[in-house]
Structure 1
Amino acid sequence: MKKHLKNMDYPLLVIILLLSLFGLVMVYSASFVHAGLDPNVNDPAFYFKRQRLWLILGLFVFFFMSMFSYRRLGQLTPLLFLITFLLLLAVIIPGLGVTRNGATRWLDLGFFLLQPSELAKISMVLYFAYALTKKEDRLDSFNKGLLPPLLLLLGVFTLIVLQPDFGTAASIMIACGIILLFAGAKFIHLLGLGSVAIVGALLLILGADYRRERLTSFMDPFADPSGDGYQLIHSLIAIASGKINGVGLANSVQKSGFLPEAHTDFIMSIIAEELGLIGVLFVIISFMVLMFKGVLIAKRAPDQFGRLLALGITFQIISQAIINMGAISGLLPITGITLPLISYGGSSLLITFAFLGILMNIAIKGNIVRGYNREEEVDNSKEKQFKAAR
């Protein structure tokens, strides 16, 4: 334990705590009006209390995963993938999945609504990093090296899109693509896969009415201001109202019945309204620091599996943040994806903390190896000095 604490990446820990505590404050600010008026809740602090509980549990998950060897976790990858795949299948079986706002993404466990697509994030990143490390000598061959993990990724992607949850499916695809890029796959294979992914995404978007409507509403929300463009219009009003300093914490107008999902998908809009450009820059810079730390940890990882896993984790979180912020600002279509560590949501928060705990474990292992290497360099230097003196 002493060695564990000594070798923790404390700047990473600080940025995680800052974002999650900031998120807790903003969940309360964005939800207290809605929670106070909801007759089923009738408690302004309802969502805050639940988020606080998930945050405490998340911190326990984070510290547990930071102590659990990522190499041993890699050995559990096939089992974790199988569990995730079965849960994703269960969601789309009539009568088992829980439907909210037209999407069936949850399983009711009684005390907790489990979102298997969140678990899919961690299992797919683990699987891709583990499988491509094992197949390192076969990556030149598409059939033997790349095709098996790609088929499993396609299966998971399809099940998540059927929920429908295109945003989460896209973020998983991006993270796995980053792992594939740095694993050493041939450029021609990457080019072909990228082309297929882009064409496939376009066909998916154009193949469903609701996705086409989201695309057109994101391009011109004022064409249907009371329908598909409603959320984006009120998000843009919130952002414009904030200006530089914001209207003040807890003083948002848009959260008072105008902007749906203010404490989940659109919490960044409330941050922009209440805290202005200063609040937005704080969030963006924090995620940029998190990305920098993740890439640095990957660079210092003691093995290939650790490098690929650290990169996959980092870009899974960052891609989700980019998709969310792009959607609320009108730069990307609205997908219903939350902002990591900040938006309200138990499954999302716990999985993000599990991700970051694994990233911390890779950082600790890297720091320990670097420490041993420094000690060996010092010993060798002293030995050379002693021989020279003789």
Structure 2
Amino acid sequence: MNQVKKHLKHIDYPLFSTILILATLGLVMVYSASFVYAGMDPNIDNSSHYFERQRIWLLLGFIVFIIASLFSYRRLGYFIKFMVIASIVLLILVLIPGIGVERNFAQRWLSVGPFLVQPSELAKVAFIIYFAKVYTNKQDKLDQFGQGVLPPLIVLGGVFALILLQPDLGTAASIIMACGMILLFAGIRFHHLVFLGTIAIGSMFALIVSAEYRMDRLTSFTNPFADPSGEGYQLIHSLIAIASGNVTGVGLANSVQKSGFLPEAHTDFIMSVIAEELGMLGVILVIGLYVFFMFRGILIAKRSPDQFGRLLAYGITFQIITQAMINLAAVSGLMPITGITLPLISYGGSSLLITFLLLGILMNIAIKGHINRRVDYA
């Protein structure tokens, strides 16, 4: 009990406040974006269906956050082999017909009772911890590409391929980018980083041009009006929603585009509804909160008492920021639509829980750093 009180005394309140504001805004906007859609669904008898489920997920998420913030991040290294193996096994299981659950032409989920679990979300956690731990242990070998840098990348490449088979290029890309940031802050040689970045960008381009549906998404985002009723449909209505909001928005719950025009309004395109209902002021608020979170995460990383915590904090921070950037770029037409949700704001179960788990670990690093500084000053 004394240990818990000690931890609570050193909570990073700016980080916690940012999380609380984003989660609360998300809950409000999930209701606003979904009540019309839920009311039109003959299989749902309650217009608050998605709001009520999101409220439950948020409660569970905060419980996960509290537990993770109290659990020493240093102990995570002991479980890393199990976590990596488990994530790989689950990613294989999700691809097996009859076991994996398919929705919207993608097989990304496993059914666990009444819930759907997305193994790629678990892989985010596993590989951020894995990369942080491995490159902490390999500090003296980071100038050797073959022995120090390459081995974890081979494992990551296999996981990338498994996620791509679902197919889920957006999530795979976000994991690659977060792990890439860990490599950067671990201190690998610059020419190694340039080489890996070139390989990653080239591979992404090759993957896009190798699949017709990815090429369709690429061409549709550059000119969505060329196919307004097909590949360009979602982006067109997203842009209409954003343009309709102007500066102050049309008012909370007054969005027109969510009323059967904009698909996935409460998940992938919730930012479009925010822009329509709350205007550019709402957009600036959301982006400002993510920017503040990024700088707070970087500060926590710098203040970490050890290298493992530092790399882990950087990985968590940029995993969440990368996901937010991909979502915001997709809904505004700056990049192809990927199906990635907006962290803490979009409707979702496993994605929300994993985000809170990562944030709880980040909070624990912040607490340890604060306690460590107090001891140093004493």
Identify which of 266, 270, 273 aligns with 1:270.
Answer: 273
Counterparts of 1:137 and 1:79 in 2: how far apart (Å)?
25
Q: How does 1:75-86 map to 2 (within 5 A)?
A: 75-86=78-89
Match of 1:170 in 2: 173
Amino acid at match of 2:9: K
Counterparts of 1:2 and 1:95 in 2: how far apart (Å)?
48
Match of 1:10 in 2: 13
Match of 1:284 in 2: 287
Counterparts of 1:261 and 1:74 in 2: how far apart (Å)?
37
Identify which of 96, 99, 103 aligns with 1:100.
Answer: 103
Identify which of 284, 293, 297 aligns with 2:296.
Answer: 293
How many residue pairs end up in the alignment? 375
TM-superposed CA distance for 1:53, in Å, is: 0.1
Amino acid at match of 1:284: I
Q: Secondary structure at the match of 1:106?
A: strand
- Say whether residues 1:234 and 2:234 are aligned partners: no
Q: Secondary structure at the match of 2:143?
A: coil
Amino acid at match of 1:117: S
Runs of 5+ in structure 2 lacking a partner? none
Amino acid at match of 1:152: V
TM-superposed CA distance for 1:55, in Å, is: 0.1
Counterparts of 1:322 and 1:309 in 2: how far apart (Å)?
20
- Say whether residues 1:329 and 2:305 are aligned partners: no
Counterparts of 2:248 and 2:194 in 1: how far apart (Å)?
44
Match of 1:310 in 2: 313
Q: How does 1:96-245 map to 2 (within 5 A)?
A: 96-245=99-248
Match of 2:63 in 1: 60
Amino acid at match of 1:217: S
TM-superposed CA distance for 1:94, in Å, is: 1.5
Q: Secondary structure at the match of 2:50?
A: helix
- Percent identity, please: 66
Q: Deviations over 1:199-229 (max 9, x none)?
A: 1000000000000000000010000000000
Match of 2:323 in 1: 320
Q: Deviations over 1:172-225 (max 9, x none)?
A: 011000000110111111111111111100000000000000000001000000
Kindly report structure 1 stretches of 4+ aligned residues shifted beyond 6 Å. none
Q: Deviations over 1:113-138 (max 9, x none)?
A: 00001111111101000111111111
TM-superposed CA distance for 1:95, in Å, is: 1.4
TM-superposed CA distance for 1:48, in Å, is: 0.3
TM-superposed CA distance for 1:42, in Å, is: 2.1
Counterparts of 1:206 and 1:75 in 2: how far apart (Å)?
41
Counterparts of 1:101 and 1:133 in 2: how far apart (Å)?
40
Q: Secondary structure at the match of 1:107?
A: strand
TM-superposed CA distance for 1:146, in Å, is: 1.2
Match of 1:349 in 2: 352
Match of 1:382 in 2: none
Amino acid at match of 1:259: L
Q: Deviations over 1:304-344 (max 9, x none)?
A: 00000000000000000000000000001100000000000
Counterparts of 1:110 and 1:68 in 2: how far apart (Å)?
28
Amino acid at match of 2:314: L
Q: Secondary structure at the match of 1:258?
A: coil
Q: Secondary structure at the match of 1:105?
A: strand
Counterparts of 1:91 and 1:329 in 2: how far apart (Å)?
31
Amino acid at match of 1:339: L
TM-superposed CA distance for 1:258, in Å, is: 0.2
TM-superposed CA distance for 1:6, in Å, is: 0.9
- Say whether residues 1:372 and 2:375 are aligned partners: yes
Normalising by structure 2, report the TM-score: 0.99
Runs of 5+ in structure 1 lacking a partner? 376-390
Counterparts of 1:96 and 1:143 in 2: how far apart (Å)?
37
Counterparts of 1:238 and 1:210 in 2: how far apart (Å)?
25
Amino acid at match of 1:276: G
Identify which of 248, 251, 255 aligns with 2:251.
Answer: 248
Normalising by structure 1, report the TM-score: 0.96
Q: Secondary structure at the match of 1:28?
A: helix
Q: Secondary structure at the match of 2:235?
A: helix
Amino acid at match of 1:247: V
Match of 1:388 in 2: none
Q: Secondary structure at the match of 1:336?
A: coil
